[in-house]
Amino acid sequence: MERPLYNTMSPLRPYRGEFKAQEVIQECGKVWRLITRSSHWNAIRRSLSGLNYNGNLSATAVHLHADAITAEMPADIDLAPLRDLCRSLISWRTGPFQLGDFVLDTEWQSHMKWGRVAPMIPQKSGLRIADVGCSNGYFLYKLATLDPELAIGFDPIERCWLQFALLQSIMRVPKLAFLPMGILALDAFPSFFDFILCMGVIYHQRDQALAVKRLYDATRPGGHVLMESLVVPHDEPLVVTPPDRYAKMRNSWTIPSAASLMTLFLDAGFHDVQVKSFGPLTPAEQRRTEFAPFESLADFLDPHDSSRTIEGHPAPHTAAVIGRR
Ligand SMILES: C[S@@+](CC[C@H](N)C(=O)[O-])C[C@H]1O[C@@H](n2cnc3c(N)ncnc32)[C@H](O)[C@@H]1O
């Protein structure tokens, strides 16, 4: 039987001894137990293990430079069971993906974000890379175009792990791993990475300075961290105090401004810090789809004034900051 969840971790095996394996096992075990103790997730895990089409599930070719990460599939394969499994794993956030002739249209047109941040990323092969808050791994496939030594996605949500395991059992792009762990658990990887990407995560963190410190500590001296975020288009960050929400999001504590992203990086000790503002986020980039059928950005904005959220706050813009340890 295939072991897709376990397989997502196997590229890490040669690095044992360079990270705190016991802490990693403990963290991942928490999410593993959430999956195996839930009849819903466990049924999906079993379907995923059984979905190997007699060994023919794997792509005949993959295209990582296209907007949609694309897997060419054997022509005679019936994609209905794969489509059903993808439906059971709704909601799909980052993407899109194309698997044979099946277009997995996701909430985010993530190639738009990639187009904004890619020019800021060090263009060097052989790096150890992390994508923290990687969702289903769309950006790991983009990072694979840099020919890294290793690229690990971190995301503590069960659905994300299962989605990546499904995608990777088709794509089989080498040197990509996934660990079901959150940003604060990165202290299991002291001075390990040459480059860390962390996008769309910081405004969900209650203690943002601590989260940025974890990114800093997990980076090798001389390495870089690039953090992208929703921002408010003001100099001052917006503090959201529960039970108030920002754009209907749960667990948003402070929406940074571009300037406060810079302050976070300088305070953590980064050098050569640079910030780029990208302008407003639009429903062309984040919208409801068949595989993300719930409320999306258009529902979070004031229907009469798209410069405001539904709660009356400044509407989300995006920005990214990069710094060197
Ligand atoms: C807004 S999405 C961003 C996804 C992707 N990085 C992007 O920029 O499009 C936030 C992601 O962070 C993940 N996440 C939630 N809590 C986290 C934590 N404590 N540490 C790291 N990631 C977390 C979520 O599961 C989700 O995939």
Interval between CA 211 and ligand 1 midpoint (Å):
13
Candidates 162, 163, 164; CA nearest to 151 is: 164
Q: What is the CATH number of the domain that holds 253?
A: 3.40.50.150
Considering only CA atoms, which residue is closest to atom 23 of ligand 1? 133
d(C-alpha 90, C-alpha 290), whole Å:
9
- Pairing state between β 301-302 and 271-280: unpaired
Tokens 């395991």 correspond to 165
Interval between CA 147 and ligand 1 midpoint (Å):
24
Tokens 């499994």 correspond to 85
For ligand 1, say whether the CB of 155 is within 6 Å of any of its atoms.
Answer: yes
Q: What are the tokens at 301?
A: 């904005």
Full-prediction pTM beyond 0.75?
yes
- Give the model's pLDDT for residue 243: 80
For ligand 1, say whether the CB of 160 is within 6 Å of any of its atoms.
Answer: yes
d(C-alpha 144, C-alpha 149), whole Å:
9
The domain tally of the chain equals 1
Residue 286 DSSP code:
B
Considering only CA atoms, which residue is closest to atom 20 of ligand 1? 182
- Give the model's pLDDT for residue 250: 84
- Give the model's pLDDT for residue 2: 61
Per-residue confidence band for 13, with pLDDT thresholds at 50, 70 and 90: very high
State yes or no: pLDDT of 54 exceeds 80.
Answer: no
DSSP letter string, 304-322: TEEEEETTSSBPPEEEEEE
**For residues 133 and 200, is the Cβ–Cβ distance under 8 A?**
yes
Query: For the segment 227-282, what is each residue's pLDDT rounded down to a tens digit?
Result: 999 999 998 999 888 788 999 998 888 999 999 999 999 999 999 999 999 999 99
d(C-alpha 226, C-alpha 131), whole Å:
10
Per-residue confidence band for 56, with pLDDT thresholds at 50, 70 and 90: low
Q: How far is CA 117 from CA 123, 196, 226, 256, in A?
A: 12, 13, 9, 18
Q: Which three-class secondary structure state does DSSP give residue 238? A: strand
Query: For the segment 159-172, what is each residue's pLDDT rounded down to a tens digit?
Result: 999 999 999 999 99
* Averaged pLDDT for residues 43-66: 86
DSSP letter string, 246-281: BTTBTT--EEPPHHHHHHHHHHHT-EEEEEEEEEE-
**What is the extent of the structural domain holding 50?**
4-324
State yes or no: pLDDT of 28 exceeds 60.
Answer: yes
